[in-house]
Amino acid sequence: MSIYKRFSLLGVLFILMSVLTAPIAEAHGENGLPGFLRLRTVTFFDVNFTPNQEQFKQGDEMTITGKLKILESWPTNVAEPKVAYISVDAPGPAVLVKERWVNGEFTPGSIFVEKGKVYDFKVKVTFRKEGRYHVHPSLLVEHAGPLIGPGHWVDVKASTTPFTNPITLINGKTVDLEKYGLGTVVGWHLIFFAIGAIWLVYWLVRPVLARMLLVEQGKFSELVSKRDKIAGAVIAVVVAMTLFGGYTYAKTAFPGGIPQQVYRFAPEDLKLNHFVTYKVESATYGPTTQTVVMKVLITNHGSDPVRVTQFSTAYIDFVNKALAKPDTEHVMTVSPDARITPGETKSVELTLQDEIWQKANLLPIEEAQISMAGLLFVQDDKGNRDFGTIAAPLKTDYQTILEVLKKKEEFIR
CB of 247 to other proteins, least distance (A): 6
CB of 192 to other proteins, least distance (A): 4
Cβ–Cβ < 8 Å for 371, 391: yes
CB of 159 to other proteins, least distance (A): 15
Tell me how far apart the alpha carbons of residues 80 and 41 are, in angstroms, rounded to a whole number. 10
Nearer to other proteins, 153 or 193 (CB): 193
How much of the chain is in helix, strand and coil states, percent to nearest 5? Answer: 25, 35, 40
Q: Who's near 5: CB < 8 A, 6+ residues apart? A: none
Local structure of 413: helix, strand or coil: coil
Q: Are strands 131-141 and 152-157 parallel, antiparallel or unpaired?
A: antiparallel
CB of 68 to other proteins, least distance (A): 17
Nearer to other proteins, 78 or 239 (CB): 239
CB of 236 to other proteins, least distance (A): 5
Nearer to other proteins, 78 or 83 (CB): 83
Tell me how far apart the alpha carbons of residues 32 and 361 are, in angstroms, rounded to a whole number. 7
CB of 277 to other proteins, least distance (A): 34
CB of 267 to other proteins, least distance (A): 13
Tell me how far apart the alpha carbons of residues 319 and 303 are, in angstroms, rounded to a whole number. 24
Q: Are strands 105-106 and 174-176 parallel, antiparallel or unpaired?
A: unpaired
Nearest to 67 by CA among 315, 357, 410, 380: 315
CB of 104 to other proteins, least distance (A): 12
Q: Who's near 266: CB < 8 A, 6+ residues apart? A: 111, 112, 113, 114
CB of 229 to other proteins, least distance (A): 6
Nearest to 401 by CA among 413, 389, 409: 409
Nearer to other proteins, 52 or 174 (CB): 174
Q: Which residues does residue 134 pair with via DSSP β-bridges, in sequence order? A: 153
Tell me how far apart the alpha carbons of residues 97 and 88 are, in angstroms, rounded to a whole number. 8
Cβ–Cβ < 8 Å for 311, 300: no
Nearer to other proteins, 6 or 179 (CB): 179
Nearer to other proteins, 199 or 275 (CB): 199
Local structure of 405: helix, strand or coil: helix
Element (H, E) at 189: helix 182-204
Cβ–Cβ < 8 Å for 373, 36: no
Nearer to other proteins, 29 or 383 (CB): 29
Nearer to other proteins, 92 or 326 (CB): 92
Nearer to other proteins, 169 or 405 (CB): 169
Nearer to other proteins, 89 or 403 (CB): 89
Cβ–Cβ < 8 Å for 119, 17: no
CB of 40 to other proteins, least distance (A): 21
